[in-house]
Structure 1
Amino acid sequence: MSLPAGATAWIVSDGTRGMEVQSLALARALGLDPVVKRIRPAPWLRAFPSLGCCRAVPSSAGGDTLAPPWPDLVIGCGRRNAGAVLSIKARSRGRSFAVQIQDPRLDPALFDALVVPEHDPVRGANVVLTTGSLNGIFALDLKNEAKRFEDLIGKLPTPRVLVSVGGPTRRSRVDPALADRFAENLKRLMDSGGGLMMTTSRRTPDHLVRALRELADDSESALLWNGEGENPYLGFLGAADTIVVTSDSVNMTSEACSTGKGVYVADLLRPSGRIGIFQRTLPARGLTRPFSGEAAPFAYDPLRDAELAADGVRRLFAAAGR
């Protein structure tokens, strides 16, 4: 099943990278070349997204123009963009098939398709369920990405391990004892003969960044990307034999589990709420293992959530008589 030839698509985004990446992954899995509309969500639509169902309500408070000709599909991710998705559907008089990624905590029937991970509670006839968050890892040539960063990676011994480090969430702070144990386990892993390719996020606490920097400075078997120049993350994914990721991020863990490489999860905090449900689901399905200083390869069927979501959206698009 495929979309009509020449189908057009918009992605509405407030510029948040993690949300925009998911929208792009879905559009590309659908075989679309989307136009990204970066907007400033109107405050009233952020607070009350269902107001977007009224054609008289503007779709945004600034940014790219949202005006005819309307696209065949409009895709948004996250509650803050949901009002704009509904507004475009309303203003186009239903011409634009409205696809929302992540649970906007609204009646799912307001959208034509709702794509949510299983750890979100919303269900319905137009709800497409995935295991984790959407990404385009499945479509990338990761080996070629690794070659692009050979000058950076080549000096490291094998087997090589990507270490992807997050930080606190809105619900939980980093536990210093867990962070110390994590750093110690990384040292054990490096001492076993492997090479570490480490990346941090904007959420990573300064004290943990310093510990990782010391680990990299004290050994030629580890490197920590310093944030300068092109981000080597995809190259690290391609060069890695296994992956260690912290448990605070659904996106990072989903990306890791989309590679087919053994994924080990380390706690910097105790995941709770929906992230906690997600992280408990993965080892039960054989997708991840806990990290305790070892990271041997293991096999599993990698996630293909963007492709799965695209199949569901195509089905709903066809059922709607598009």
Structure 2
Amino acid sequence: MSRAGTPPRIWRVLGDKRGDNAQVEVIADALERARGWTSELRHLEMLPKYVHGKPRVGPSLHHIDPSRSDTLEPPWPDLILTRGRRPSNAALWIKAQSGGRTRIVLVGKPAGWLTHYMSHFDLIVTSSETLPAPFGNVMQIDLPLMQVSADRLAAGRAEWEGTLAPLPRPLVAVLIGGPTSPYVYNAETGARLHARIARVLADGGTPWLVGSRRTPPGFLDRVRRGFDDRLRVFDWARPEGGNPYTGLLALADRFVVTGDSISMQVEVARLGKPLEILPLPFGWLGRVDDARRRAAAWMFQPPRDDRLAERARLTAARGLYHLRLMQQTRHFPRFHQALIDRGLACWAGADGPDGAGGTGDQRVSAATADDVAHILRRIDPLLRGA
């Protein structure tokens, strides 16, 4: 561990998920700017079976490929910044090797049933779509810290401007995720997308339909049926012509994003671009699952005051979590409404925020600066005496 009177030793323990890593980098950059504390990257590569497979939760390196990963050895860090199931397992292992002296800041909802390990994280930073149990080491912020870097936007603009600039306006990017409980991608989902695309074409604009890895095979073909070549399509299953996603973030006039994709909604909102959220239908058990998530949203909300009834709710929520009768989860409608209430989004087809370059990105930037400052204030006590 670092010696008294020296800056704390900080590691960023990260895997290969760029969106996850970017959120940790925001905090690391803020620590360097505001406190003068630099951090070192410990990049981890997973064994092939765990690139997509989920390793068991706990302090372990059994899922790490040591030949392709950075070395994890003493001197151990005073603080670890991490995100995700796989890197956080390694962070817990490092903490165990340090005799419990290393502090861990986990960005995002802890993965799986972490009843035993919840207290091993010294600070858990989650955004408003996640619903962890309301323990003292949990801190909630409004929006995830993910954002598209200026360099990546500039590269997207340079690559796609020649293709996108001549198209009839408005250029509307229709961004598609995939089935996520309680939502399904069925004929109703396709009909809603079909209607929104038809409206863009009726207004003389250009819709560009962009699928993702999670988009069901054949779904985009069903949505595009009946349209002419004014509808542009990018399909992950048949990636012809390159992925226009970053180019559209830089150059599109408006965005329609399916309700399941929090990450794409946040990336658009952080740019201050007009954002429409396409509501998705529930599956046959979706309404039951949604009711469960709504109950968790009420039970697991952060403390609101110090009244007896509020203390009783917190005690009950923690008890239900420990007994595994109510698990941490996500509640998408709660997050959608937060974006709408702040003027950062509207429902698909409704009147929403005006064009880019308005006040939306300024409001998001100010809120993020407040959130990051609050995170640093929570980190400071963890490093006293380090």
Counterparts of 1:177 and 1:262, CA distance in 2: 24
* Secondary structure, aligned partner of 2:80: strand
- Give the match for residue 348 of structure 2: 291
Root-mean-square deviation over aligned CA pairs: 3.5
* Secondary structure, aligned partner of 1:193: coil
Q: 2:122 aligns with which of 100, 105, 112?
A: 112
Say whether 1:259 aligns with 2:261. no
Counterparts of 2:25 and 2:226, CA distance in 1: 36
Instruction: Give 1:1-322 correspondences, 5 Å limit.
Output: 8-13=10-15, 15-31=16-32, 34-40=40-46, 46-49=55-58, 52=59, 58=61, 60-63=63-66, 64=69, 65-94=71-100, 96-104=102-110, 105-106=114-115, 108-119=118-129, 120-137=131-148, 142=153, 145-211=156-222, 218-219=229-230, 222-226=231-235, 227-228=239-240, 231-270=243-282, 272=290, 273=293, 274-292=331-349, 297=354, 300=360, 301-302=363-364, 307-320=369-382, 321=384, 322=386
Counterparts of 2:228 and 2:8, CA distance in 1: 52
Counterparts of 1:246 and 1:307, CA distance in 2: 27
Task: Write out per-residue CA displacement over residues 128-163 of structure 1, whole angstroms, 9 at most, x where no aligned residue.
Answer: 322233213375574664233212212212232222
8 Å Cα contact 2:178-2:185 kept in structure 1: yes
The one-letter code of the counterpart of 2:199 is R
Equivalences, count = 309
8 Å Cα contact 2:95-2:102 kept in structure 1: yes
The 10-residue stretch of structure 1 (20-29 or 180-189) with the greater mean CA deviation from structure 2: 20-29
Counterparts of 2:78 and 2:160, CA distance in 1: 39
Larger Rg: 2
Q: Which runs of 5+ in 1 are unaligned?
A: none
Shift of 1:38: 2.0
The one-letter code of the counterpart of 2:123 is A
Q: TM-score, normalised by structure 1?
A: 0.79
The one-letter code of the counterpart of 1:163 is V
Counterparts of 1:134 and 1:292, CA distance in 2: 27
Name the CA shift for 1:315/1:255 in 2 (closer, same or farther; >3 Å): same
Name the CA shift for 1:305/1:133 in 2 (closer, same or farther; >3 Å): farther
* Secondary structure, aligned partner of 2:124: strand
Shift of 1:179: 1.6
The one-letter code of the counterpart of 1:314 is L
8 Å Cα contact 2:275-2:353 kept in structure 1: no
Name the CA shift for 1:5/1:304 in 2 (closer, same or farther; >3 Å): farther
The one-letter code of the counterpart of 1:224 is V
* Secondary structure, aligned partner of 2:218: helix
Counterparts of 2:17 and 2:157, CA distance in 1: 26
Shift of 1:283: 1.8
The one-letter code of the counterpart of 1:291 is A
Name the CA shift for 1:74/1:115 in 2 (closer, same or farther; >3 Å): same
Counterparts of 1:34 and 1:164, CA distance in 2: 35
The 10-residue stretch of structure 1 (197-206 or 291-300) with the greater mean CA deviation from structure 2: 291-300
Counterparts of 1:228 and 1:22, CA distance in 2: 30
Counterparts of 1:129 and 1:305, CA distance in 2: 13
8 Å Cα contact 2:193-2:223 kept in structure 1: no
8 Å Cα contact 1:138-1:304 kept in structure 2: no
Counterparts of 2:352 and 2:198, CA distance in 1: 12
Counterparts of 2:144 and 2:364, CA distance in 1: 13
8 Å Cα contact 1:188-1:293 kept in structure 2: no
Counterparts of 1:26 and 1:171, CA distance in 2: 32
Name the CA shift for 1:317/1:132 in 2 (closer, same or farther; >3 Å): closer
Counterparts of 2:136 and 2:148, CA distance in 1: 28
Q: Which runs of 5+ in 2 are unaligned?
A: 1-5, 33-37, 294-330
8 Å Cα contact 1:72-1:96 kept in structure 2: yes
Task: Write out per-residue CA displacement over residues 179-199 of structure 1, whole angstroms, 9 at most, x where no aligned residue.
Answer: 222122112112202223332
Shift of 1:202: 1.4
